Structure 1
Amino acid sequence: MLNGIKLVRVDFRLIHGQVVTKWSNTVTAKTIIVVNDELSEDEFMADIYVMAAPPGIKVQVLSIASFVEQANAGQYDSGSILVLFKNIEDVRNAVERGIVFAEVQIGGLGAAGNRTSVVKGISIDRDDADNLICMRDRGVEVYFQVTPEETKLSLDKALKKLGG
């Protein structure tokens, strides 16, 4: 039932100061799981993320398939886990493989290309919006929030800023 997962966050920066100091403390995370296919195959970069975590917090870097397999095996049914995805497409991929997240927090996405800022520090494009709508349609509460001090912005309000 994934009860051990306290927060699912999309942030292209993955483990960085804000996540480590604010969010891991907010959810009292003991484990951070970074889910990204490319990173799971890059041992050097994966090690950098492991070293970026504060003392006492275990970090795992997994492919989407490995994450889904471990979730289905009950690995995340207990504990205090923060799951980080680098992009919205990866979360949708996990959801489409049967993973049921109660909620997904969009926390940091860069402004490159045709992206529209919906919150300071978070920009999405039409593909992102379609992926988020797909997840919402599967029962996932999607919201935007960079830091714990900020108010959550609902997906509907973000979509209005995108123009639909």
Structure 2
Amino acid sequence: MVGIVLASHGGFADGIAQSAQMLFGEQNNFAHVILKPDEGPDDIRGKMEKAIASFDSQDEVLFLVDLWGGTPFNQANGLVEKHDKWAIVAGMNLPMVVQALTERMMDANATARQIATKVVEPAKDGIKTKPSDLMPKTAAPAAAADKGSAKGGAKSIPEGTVIGDGHIKYVLARIDSRLLHGQVATGWIPAMKPDRVIVVSDSVAKDDLRKSMIREAAPAGVKAHTVPLKKMEEIAKDPRFGNTHALLLFENPEDVLRAIKGGINLKDINVGSMSYKEGDVNANNVLSMNQEDVDTFRELEKMGVKFDVRKVPSDAPGNMDAILKKAQNLLDEQKK
């Protein structure tokens, strides 16, 4: 029997599991895990692994998650990458869960991927309006307007060709140790409207699993890439990217400093989150820093870089100078 894991931000998965079991009764090989506000990626991943270990069999597992590109999806994706029979469906709603339990009940031999295929249409059909004429009309498929970029982007254009003004447009450059996750996918990407998300990181560029997760976490219509810093420097100087509107993601301020020194023209940096590492201090509830981080931010400041401290676009900007002063005070105390 396929094991089913519901996963979400907050208590959504708990509530939808309770609703489903009101209809179907108590279910075996059925788990629901949630990411609490004070938890991180490792916490939800651990809950998923514990849930799967409780199933009668781990051969077939189906994840139903709330949000494509969010932390529950990303952690489930990391597990699915290692199992060729497992599957994920995002956009979880009650009709989707009901259909998954129905399919499993009707066919004990159904696979996770077969069930995944069969839950999508019921999930879509569960979205209705009253009055019915409020439902948007289904748009006809658009013609492929950007065939050149779809078939290889700048690589398919002769070197030396100048597209637009020949300069890549940076709609946002963000420091976020979680890189492409829910806040970026559902907050910053719709707000800034990039056509590409570029993760700039030497370490991530060497990690095939993380690169795959980043590609798959991108919203529809936006391409996601991972490149090392040297490659980003080449892209920044390539006139074939003149029509590209890019959102850059960095794991830490040190990589931002290297990028700017390498010729990437960044004047404003959005500071989103920096996860805790041994030796760090907590400058606020989402930013943990060590002495190198503080010194790097101060160096960037001297170079004229402006900081926009916000997790999501709707947040009020934080005071970076106050944050850095607090971090420095805590680091000084740590040394005593």
Residue 33 (structure 1) aligned to one of 174, 198, 214: 198
Residue of structure 2 in register with 1:44 after alignment = 209
Give the Å deviation of 1:54. 1.1
The answer as to whether partners of 1:100 and 1:140 remain within 8 angstroms in 2 is: no
Greater relative CO, 1 or 2 (CA 8 Å, sep 6+): 1
Q: CA deviation at 1:107?
A: 0.5
Which residue pairs with 2:313 in the alignment?
Answer: 148
| Structure 1: gaps (5+ residues) | none
Deviations 1:6-59 (A, max 9, x none): 100010100111110001111112210000112212223211110111111101
Q: Does 1:138 align with 2:303?
A: yes
Q: CA RMSD in A?
A: 1.9
CA distance in 2, matches of 1:5, 1:96: 16
Equivalent of residue 65 in structure 1, options 215, 219, 230: 230
User: 1:13-162 residue pairs with structure 2 within 5 A?
Assistant: 13-74=178-239, 77-162=242-327
- CA shift at 1:83, angstroms? 0.4
Percent identity for Structure 1 against Structure 2: 27
What TM-score, normalized by structure 1, do the two folds share? 0.90
Greater CA drift, 146-155 or 3-12: 146-155
Contact 1:145 1:151 in 2 (8 A): yes
Return 5+ residue gaps in structure 2 as ranges. 1-165, 330-336
What SS is found at the alignment partner of 1:163?
A: helix
SS of 2:225 mapped into structure 1: strand
Give the deviation of 1:98 after TM superposition: 2.4
User: Which has more radius of gyration?
Assistant: 2
Q: Tell me, what secondary structure is at the counterpart of 2:283?
A: strand
Matched residue count: 164
Displacement of 1:3 in angstroms is: 5.8
**Structure 1's 119 and 25: CA in aligned 2 closer, same or farther, altered over 3 A?**
farther
Partner of 2:114: none
1:79 positional shift: 3.3
TM-score (norm 2): 0.46
Q: Which amino acid aligns with 2:267?
A: A
Q: Which structure has greater strand proportion?
A: 1
8 Å CA contact 1:110, 1:123 repeated in 2: yes
Give the AA of the match of 1:150.
D
Cα separation, 2, equivalents of 1:111 and 1:64: 23
Deviation at 1:96, TM superposition (A): 1.8
